[in-house]
A and B are shown apart, each in its own frame.
Chain A
């Protein structure tokens, strides 16, 4: 349908106003929320993701597109809740306790949302209890942990330990990232996945929800 192409193209251009207008129009035309989301917004964001991965566009363009996606999502969100429209997965994300660093976690959250995940962003300086409680309350598929320093990344294990004692370890997956974190560290602390950047986090979690 033409409207989906228009939404996707406007999104790729980072035109948030136009995306909002077109999304509103699609809703007025009684197009299903799920279809607007999948064939318009997410389809557009997928192209953006691929372009970014292949260095055809750069981070600011991705972020403008993400803003446009959010403009459309803001209109869909109330209806998604009402109609129980399912996202591809739910991720609770945050920066570990004692760490103020936001930017990397924000980028990962934006990319995940752009790929169609529901993201619950707990912000920074988040205690383990809050990660675990939110994951339980909201029935999350994964917890995403970010850290800036070698001293704060050790807090990731505290979250995993608490998940074990609360019996959600294994049921809710853990993905970690941040400058000092590595794949080896992820294995060492029992995290399920490590991602080096936002796109990699998207690919990793997409593969997980697909195989599930």
Chain B
């Protein structure tokens, strides 16, 4: 089943510390008033300009196997290839903040409001991630009827372009999910329009399936440690 979800802005508003961290500012830094003002303004604009929406589609494991193979460009053994066979349920998803927020960011840069544009960009990047998180949480909730003990179950999202799943995987993902229905289109280069969009699969099953050692070939070139944090968070849940 495919569902289109209008996401509430309140649910995806990033925390100020996230927005700052996206610009390399850690939470121990005391902000000058003028920077705090720019941050406040960016949060206000985020609220008025973001048009978050999502699309999610249940998908049988066999169909996902085909989507995952994509254009045949995945890098040998990958975490995703090892995780999904253990899944009970899978859902493709895409989420976007819409065009308006990107237009505003571009406008800021064109009119020399660089700090303002950068702040809003950082907020929008965090907001897009939160949108994906909302879809994942919603999916988890829906699954709770299907299990006797949901506490043993974990749902995590994986995206083309991460963890060895080649970005060209976007093509088959789009063919199946049709995120065009919420205004996301895919370029030949597999880049999504609007820019602040995220796509992927939510994989649900016993928590253990998501645990892996980060010593796959794709891990060698990756300096993003968020997979470790996610695995740890799932263990602690």
Contacts and interface: CB of A to CB of B under 8 A. Distances in A.
Given A64-B34, A149-B167, A150-B167, A59 B23 contact: yes
Nearest to A106: B109
A60 B188 CA distance: 34
Interface in B92-114: 105-106, 109, 112-114
Given A99-B191, A103-B105, A151-B191, A58 B118 contact: no
B195 A100 contact: yes
Interface-centre pick from B29, B109, B117, B168 (highest chain A CB count, 10 A): B109
Contacts of A106: 109, 114, 117
B23 A98 contact: no
Interface residues of A, number: 28
A101 B195 contact: yes
Contacts, number: 78
A102 B107 CA distance: 12
A66 B114 contact: yes
B190 A151 contact: yes
A64 B187 CA distance: 34
B114 A110 contact: yes
A126 interface: no
Contacts of B49: none
Contacts of B150: none
A70 interface: yes
Interface in A92-127: 97-103, 106-107, 110
A98 B109 contact: no
Interface string A54-96: 0000111101101100110000000000000000000000000
Interface-centre pick from A59, A98, A101 (highest chain B CB count, 10 A): A59
A63 B121 CA distance: 14
A100 B25 contact: no
- Chain A contact residues: over half helix, strand or loop, or mixed? helix
B191 A64 contact: no
Nearest to A150: B167
B191 A148 contact: yes
A104 to B, nearest CB: 10
A96 to B, nearest CB: 9
B65 interface: no
B119 interface: yes
B114 A151 contact: no
A58 B25 contact: yes
A110 B121 CA distance: 16
A11 to B, nearest CB: 13
Interface of B: 23-25, 29, 32, 34-35, 38, 105-106, 109, 112-115, 117-119, 121, 161, 167-168, 187-191, 193, 195
5 contacts: A59-B118, A60-B38, A98-B188, A102-B106, A103-B121
Given A103-B121, A150-B167, 19 more contacts: A14-B34, A16-B112, A58-B29, A59-B23, A60-B25, A61-B35, A61-B115, A64-B114, A67-B113, A98-B189, A100-B187, A100-B195, A101-B191, A103-B105, A103-B117, A149-B161, A149-B190, A151-B189, A151-B191
